Structure 1
């Protein structure tokens, strides 16, 4: 097996394995604290939207399944996270409304080729906006709350591996741009969470002293 092929197999499988549990630290953190503090509802909603568009695009153009197999898992995990956020923010009544919106989006995307192509270009903006909303939420609160640095660090890793797999397989420039933007923003959010988490730990230490 050629070195590039071995790296591709490793990148695909490691990405898949990481994505299988990527949202677990975040979900468990929310469950343990019984609070969605530190999480931006808008950020999670936009993230799910971006995932749906990207998955639909990959399926529409019949790209290799191993390059997007993690997305159904990520969507499922985000749905669970959304339900907890809705529950702890007292807005469970919105769950059905958003389900209908996502279902309609899934079907509309493939009505015309230009729609799905345009949607992917907008997908990068949507996904970037979801990260900026989370950053804005953290900056305003100056508190990482239940935001999981591990989840965002794993997302950074998967963005990096997908840059490599895209270069080796499809070479799709729009997809490549998306992952480069996500890599930068995921890493940025991770750093901000770690920064505020350290401040919280320092405050707790001072209180104990």
Structure 2
């Protein structure tokens, strides 16, 4: 049987094949066997993956807006944000180089853009505009290299391996900043909880679509660390920044 044996409208076939690739399309929409377990896992993974990618376009927008409205990046660790940006970028470059399905890493692109904006705003409102411009320019240059055919695959493997520690370390820095200030400062509750839920979902999609131990371990640690920060948001809810403790 083939795709033309189904009653699914022709204009929907290509879209449905994104969610049910290979023989799974025939299994679902030609044989109408919707209980095929392997295909169900692929379908759920694809839905989660593309859902995460769609959500990633707005996941850090609340954080950006909060910094912009407050005209302050107080309480946000630039070092932590930078480490997070390195981790996101490593996942993006590693996934692209290994030709993993785009649904397994695609959100890294939009998260990288939004994270670099956050870093720039932190510098901007600290009256370090020149440093902000240099920061963003250097990042764009680095990504141009990492996504080019000239980059050694071994370098990307090292970066992804280091990403396991960078991801957790960057979050631990932010968690420590929150503890030290007895406040979560300008952290956005929407952004933090979306990142937490997204990283949890990525554990399943990574197992299903890549099987790469390093990628899976990265998201397991990210989920734990994002969960810690999410808990701090509840614990320090509406607590003002403790300037005395900070000094």
TM-score normalized with structure 1 length = 0.88
Unaligned runs of 5+ in 1: 201-209
| Equivalent position SS for 2:160 | helix
Distance in 1 separating the partners of 2:71 and 2:110:
23
Q: Is it true that 1:21 corresponds to 2:58 in the alignment? A: yes
Indicate the larger mover: 89-98 or 175-184. 89-98
2:174 alignment counterpart: 134
Q: What 5-or-longer segments of structure 2 have no aligned partner? A: 1-27, 29-38, 241-247
Task: Give the Cα separation in 2 of the matches to 1:72 and 1:160.
Answer: 19
Question: Based on CA coordinates, which of the two structures has the bigger radius of gyration?
Answer: 2
Alignment partners' CA distance in 2, 1:158 and 1:94: 31
Q: Tell me which residue corresponds to 1:8.
A: 45
Question: Matched residue of 1:35: which SS?
Answer: coil
Q: Work out whether 1:35 is the aligned partner of 2:75.
A: no
- Normalising by structure 2, we get a TM-score of 0.75
Report the Cα offset of residue 198 of structure 1: 4.7
Q: How does 1:1-209 map to 2 (within 5 A)?
A: 1=28, 2-106=39-143, 107=145, 111-200=151-240
Q: State which drifts further: 99-108 or 64-73.
A: 99-108
Higher relative contact order (CA 8 A, sep 6+): 1
Distance 1:113 1:71 in 2: 19
**How big is the shift at 1:182?**
0.1
How many angstroms apart in 1 are the aligned matches of 2:182 and 2:175?
10
- Number of residue pairs the alignment of both structures matches: 200
Contact 2:93 2:146 in 1 (8 A): no
Moved over 6 A (4+): none
- In structure 2, relative to structure 1, the CA distance for the partners of 1:77 and 1:108 (3 Å cut) is closer
Segment drifting more, 96-105 vs 146-155 = 96-105
Q: Is the 8 A contact 1:49 1:102 kept in 2?
A: no
**RMSD between aligned alpha carbons?**
1.8
Which residue in 1 is equivalent to 2:7? none
Task: Provide the rounded CA distance (Å) in 1 between the counterparts of 2:228 and 2:195.
Answer: 11
**CA distance in 2: counterparts of 1:33 and 1:97, whole angstroms:** 23
Larger relative helix fraction = 1
Matched with 1:203 is none
Paired with 2:196 and 2:46, the residues of 1 have a C-alpha distance of 19
Shift of 1:101: 3.7
Task: Please state how far the C-alpha of 1:15 moved relative to its aligned partner.
Answer: 0.8
**Whole-angstrom distance in 1 between the partners of 2:53 and 2:99:** 19
Cα pair distance change 1:30/1:108, threshold 3 Å: closer
Question: C-alpha offsets along residues 143-182 of structure 1, whole Å, 9 cap, x if unaligned?
Answer: 1111112211100111111111111111100000000000
